[in-house]
Structure 1
Amino acid sequence: MKNSFVPFSAFALVIGSLSTPAFAYLDGATGSMLIQAVIGGVAAAGMFGRHFISKAKNAVSTVFRKDGTRRDS
Structure 2
Amino acid sequence: MIKYFLTSLLLITFSQQAAAYLDPGTGSMILQGIIASIAVAGFTIKNYWYRIRAFFGKEAPSSLLDDEEDETQKPL
Q: What is the total number of aligned residue pairs between the two structures?
A: 61
1:41 has 2:50 as partner: no
- Pick closer, same or farther for the CA change 1:22–1:49 going to 2, 3 Å: same
Structure 2 CA distance for aligned equivalents of residues 33 and 13 of structure 1: 29
Structure 2: gaps spanning 5 or more residues:
65-76
Shift of residue 21 of structure 1? 1.5
What is the distance in 1 between the residues matched to 2:4 and 2:52? 44
Q: TM-score, normalised to structure 1's length? A: 0.55
Task: Note the C-alpha offset of 1:14.
Answer: 3.2
Change (3 A) 1:9 1:37: closer
- 3-state DSSP of counterpart to 1:21: coil
Where does the alignment leave 5 or more consecutive residues of structure 1 unmatched?
A: 63-70
- Tell me the CA shift for residue 50 of structure 1: 1.1
Give me the TM-score of the superposition, normalised by structure 2.
Answer: 0.54
